[in-house]
Amino acid sequence: MYKISNYNHFQPWQEDYFVAFNALSGAVALMTGENYSRYLAISEKLSVSNHNNFSDEDNALLEQLKFGKFVLPANGDETASLKFAHNLHRYDQTTLGLTIAPTLNCNLGCKYCYEENKPGRMNSDTIDAIMKRIGERADALNRVDINWYGGEPLLALGIIEELTNKLLDMAKEKNFRYSSSMISNGYLLSKDNVHRLRELKVSILQVTLDGPKRIHDTRRPLKNGNGSFDRILENIKYASDYIGIGVRVNVDRNFSEEIIKELLDELVRAGLQKKIGVYFGQLEPASSVCANIADHCYNANEFSQAEVKYYRLLLDNGFHVQKLPSPISVYCMAQGIGAHLIDPDGDLYRCYNHVGIKEKSCGNIADDFDFQHPIFREYFDFDPFTDESCRTCEILPICMGGCPSRRIDRGLKGEERCETWKHNLDSMLDIIAISRRREQLQKEQDAELAREKL
Ligand code: SF4
Ligand code: SF4
């Protein structure tokens, strides 16, 4: 017999439809009103033990519900299987996820940057120490995922090249998969560098545009005060033909729909509508370095509501919405023993916000990983299954307790520490359903056109 999942969400959608979403499987489907009524009737029947009076139509729907994990075997325990996956990920030694900052130097002078700009680059001793540490584990590894970070990593492309070539050789010899991505401000993403990055297997690049040109240029100027927008946009135009580009737009209370619309118009004029993913980041006062921006920052609920407005604007302007409520087993690298952030000196951190802040380091790559280091434990130890509000939360599979830094560094409590889905899932499901529907219609139209041409 079967029972209903604890993680189902049904959201009325347009006329006589419902968006059905299961947070554990990530399944999203459109359901007719008639099928939703049938689902409610099935739920009722399943709640009565030994009930097996299902019509053919009930059974047909039940099969689909089983497929999307909206129903599960009556003896199944979703929370236990989620906890199992969570622990498996936490202690997984077969995947190594390294975020490497080959330099903390940067060519921009962003007002809100939490990294104190430091000169200096990773030296050959640190490169050797990284390779040694990976080499010691290589026989047990299935995968190594590198995220190049900084400072601005393109200021240290030679180091990235050296490390990548060594890692690719090791991957071949030890038979593990290798992938890499990069977080860059995009200013140095010249045509040459795009092709170098392709050769270095960088497949995804995150670039930040903080609003339209007139705002971005005041928030993310070059060190000499000149604007950076035009060149970054030109670079993205070229790069997006070769590398997956995600454009992050950091927003705070100074933003409005008019401002976002202005940026989207600029992206449309650049022909980027269908070529990049755009998503919104919440500016947060992550450390004392950026306490000066705290007054402008949204709180969690404000950001969640603003995000909905901005994603609707994306839709209205012909962009796809790529943010999806996908199931995760841990929230971020802070909660896995196979994930580390390494600064140019080889010092290790649990969080992007801490890079270069030496008192937040939990060791050095030249020494063996110390999983008992107090800083390591502070960020690693949080377990959402020991927190009553998380354990019983209907969106636990897509949040897993949220960002550890918010709890520890900012001391946030209650729903302030929750993922935005907690505040805006219904509205976002509405937007995601429209976006998916459009994509599907577009595919059908393209297929039709292709048939006509034959
Ligand atoms: S702790 Fe929070 S801010 Fe730090 S890496 Fe994880 S999600 Fe990001
Ligand atoms: S942090 Fe909030 S949204 Fe996330 S699992 Fe816990 S209670 Fe749910």
pLDDT for res 159: 98
Alpha-helix residue ranges (DSSP H) falling in 91-241 = 124-137, 157-174, 191-199, 213-219, 229-239
Q: Where are the beta strands (DSSP E) in 27-114?
A: 28-32, 71-73, 95-100
Q: Measure the N-to-C terminal CA separation of the chain; round to a whole number of Å.
A: 50
Pocket test residue of 303, 387, 390 for ligand 2, highest count of atoms within 8 A of CB = 390
**Is 57 in contact with 9 (CB distance < 8 Å)?**
no
Cβ atoms within 10 Å of 1's Cβ, excluding its own: 11
State both tokens at 10: 């049904």
How many degrees, rounded to 5, is the angle at CA 180 between CA 175 and CA 182?
165
Q: Which residue's CA is minimally distant from atom 3 of ligand 2?
A: 418
Top mutation candidate among 297, 335, 340, 352 for ligand 1, by most atoms within 8 Å of CB: 352
Could you tell me the sign of the dihedral formed by the alpha carbons of 249, 250, 256, 262, in that order?
A: negative
CB 3 within 8 Å of CB 72:
yes
- Tell me the backbone φ, ψ of residue 228, rounded to 5 degrees: -120, -10
Measured CA to CA, the distance from residue 17 to residue 29 in angstroms comes to 10
Ligand 1 atom closest to the Cα of residue 341 is 5
Give the mutation target among 393, 407, 417 for probing the ligand 2 site: most ligand atoms within 8 A of CB. 393
Q: Where in 295-426 does DSSP place strands (E)?
A: 339-342, 348-349
**Closest among 151, 163, 454, 437 to 315, alpha carbons compared:** 437
pLDDT score at 408: 93
CA of 352 to the centre of ligand 1 (A): 6
- Ordered strands of the 177-184 beta sheet: 276-282, 244-251, 202-208, 177-184, 143-148, 95-100, 339-342, 348-349
Q: Where are the alpha helices (DSSP H) in 278-373?
A: 300-316
Q: Which CATH number does the domain 77-446 belong to among 3.20.20.100, 3.30.470.10, 3.40.50.150, 3.20.20.70?
A: 3.20.20.70
Minimum CA distance residue for ligand 2 atom 2: 418
Per DSSP, the three-state class of 12 is: strand
pLDDT at residue number 289? 45
Q: What is the pLDDT of residue 49?
A: 67
- What was the pLDDT predicted at 379? 96
Torsion of CA 184, 190, 193, 199, to 10 degrees: 100
Ligand 1 lining (C-beta closer than 6 Å): 331-334, 351-353, 403-405
Distance, CA 95 to ligand 2 centroid (Å)?
26
Distance CA 438, CA 454 (A): 25
- How many whole angstroms separate alpha carbon 228 and alpha carbon 237? 15
Q: Where in the chain is the domain with CATH 3.90.930?
A: 1-75
d(CA 391, ligand 2 centre) in Å? 8
Q: How far apart are CA 243 and CA 235, in angstroms?
A: 11
Q: Whose CA is nearest to atom 4 of ligand 1?
A: 351
Give distance in angstroms: CA of 396 to centre of ligand 2.
Answer: 6
Ligand 1 atom having least distance to the Cα of 406: 2
The token pair at 336 is 């896995």
CA 408–ligand 1 middle distance (angstroms) = 10
Structure tokens at 229: 């927008």
Three-state secondary structure call for residue 392: coil
Residue 270 has phi, psi (to 5 degrees) of -85, 0
Q: What are phi and psi of 139, to 5 degrees?
A: -60, -30
Protein residues whose CB sits closer than 6 Å to any atom of ligand 2? 384, 389-390, 393, 395-396, 399, 401-402, 417-419, 422
The closest ligand to the CA of 404 turns out to be 1
Going from the Cα of 129 to the center of ligand 2, the distance in angstroms, rounded, reads 38
Tens digits of pLDDT across the chain (454 residues): 899 999 999 999 988 999 999 999 999 999 999 999 999 999 999 888 666 788 999 999 999 999 999 999 999 999 999 999 999 999 999 999 999 999 999 888 776 665 555 667 999 999 999 999 999 999 999 999 999 998 999 999 999 999 999 999 999 999 999 999 999 999 999 999 999 999 999 999 999 999 999 999 998 988 888 999 999 999 999 999 999 999 999 999 999 999 999 999 999 999 999 999 999 999 887 654 445 666 788 999 999 999 999 999 999 999 999 899 999 999 999 999 999 999 999 999 999 999 999 999 999 999 999 999 999 999 999 999 999 999 999 999 999 999 999 999 999 999 999 999 999 999 999 999 999 888 889 889 989 998 988 7
Of 403, 407, 419, the residue with max ligand 1 atoms within 8 A of its CB, to mutate for a pocket test, comes to 403
Judged by its nearest atom, the ligand closest to the C-alpha of residue 405 is 1
Q: What are phi and psi of 204, to 5 degrees?
A: -135, 135
Alpha carbon of 350 to ligand 2 centroid (Å): 20
Gap from CA of 280 to ligand 1 centroid (Å):
16
**Ligand in nearest proximity to the CA of 410:** 1
Name the residue of 78, 389, 391, 415 whose CB sits within 8 Å of the most ligand 2 atoms, as the mutation to test its pocket. 389
| CATH of span 1-75 | 3.90.930
pLDDT value, residue 199: 97
- Calpha distance 452→101 (Å, rounded): 51
Residues carrying CATH 3.20.20.70, the chain: 77-446
Q: How far is the CA of 34 from the centre of ligand 2 (A)?
A: 32
How many angstroms separate the alpha carbon of residue 232 from the centre of ligand 1? Answer: 26
